[in-house]
């Protein structure tokens, strides 16, 4: 599996995406959560290499495209390549993993700041709207992903929050 494995700031991500030429059709964004906690991430119990190895062990040739983490925005699978992250939702999507577990409460702090930056940038780049953001559980009902605290009603409230 080839991954990019590069962490960008919000500004670097915006510049990267604005210059990125994407040949495949993008018609949706799929939101995920890693399920591992931010605490585990900060202590490097989980990381980009950890996820690469985990996906390779599953036999995947790609993974999600982006990880929104406390320290920045990690590029994982090239967005010009169809990722593997949401079953039937893979086609035409960009997969975003929010680092953390969001069944009890939605993301906050730097993870949320970086997630919003990714969403805003991708919506603009691909001429999408908030209604084009989907949840992993829509394609796999056995999962709570991106967390039970993340609802469509909650997602609509962020539209007013400079998204």
Per residue in 124-134, pLDDT (tens digit) is: 999 999 999 99
- What pLDDT does 47 receive? 92
- Please compute the mean of the pLDDT values over residues 54-62 and round it to a whole number: 96
Q: Report residue 24's pLDDT band, with 50, 70 and 90 as the boundaries.
A: very high
pLDDT in tens, 92-103: 999 999 999 999
β-strand 133-135 against 28-33: which pairing, if any? parallel
Q: 94: exposed, middle or buried (C-beta count within 10 Å: 0-12, 13-18, 19+)?
A: buried
Answer yes or no: is pLDDT of 120 > 60: yes
Which residue matches tokens 């690469």? Answer: 52
**Does residue 60 sit in helix, strand or coil?**
coil
- What pLDDT does 163 receive? 54
Q: What is the pTM of this model?
A: 0.94
Greater pLDDT, 155 or 104: 104
Query: From CA 14, how far away is CA 42, in angstroms rounded?
Result: 24
Which residues on neighbouring strands pair with residue 95, listed in sequence order? 30
CA distance readout (Å), 63 to 43, 46, 86, 90: 22, 15, 10, 10
Q: From 139, 137, 162, select the one nearest 151 (Cα to Cα).
A: 137
Query: From CA 52, how far away is CA 39, in angstroms rounded?
Result: 19
CATH for the stretch 6-159: 3.40.80.10
């Amino acid at each position: 599996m080839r991954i990019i494995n590069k962490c960008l700031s919000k500004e670097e991500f915006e510049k990267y995406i604005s210059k990125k030429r994407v040949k495949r059709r993008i018609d949706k964004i799929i939101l995920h959560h890693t399920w591992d906690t931010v605490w585990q991430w900060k202590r490097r119990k989980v990381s980009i290499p950890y996820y690469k190895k985990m996906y390779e062990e599953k036999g995947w040739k790609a993974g999600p495209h982006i990880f929104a983490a406390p320290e920045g925005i990690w590029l994982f699978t090239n967005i010009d390549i169809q990722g593997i992250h949401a079953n039937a939702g893979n086609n035409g999507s960009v997969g975003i993993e929010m680092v953390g577990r969001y069944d009890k409460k939605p993301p906050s702090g730097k993870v949320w700041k970086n997630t919003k930056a990714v969403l805003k940038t991708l919506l603009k780049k691909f001429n999408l709207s908030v209604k084009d953001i989907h949840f992993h559980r829509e394609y796999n009902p056995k999962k709570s992903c991106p967390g039970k605290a993340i609802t469509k009603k909650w997602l609509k409230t962020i539209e007013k929050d400079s998204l």
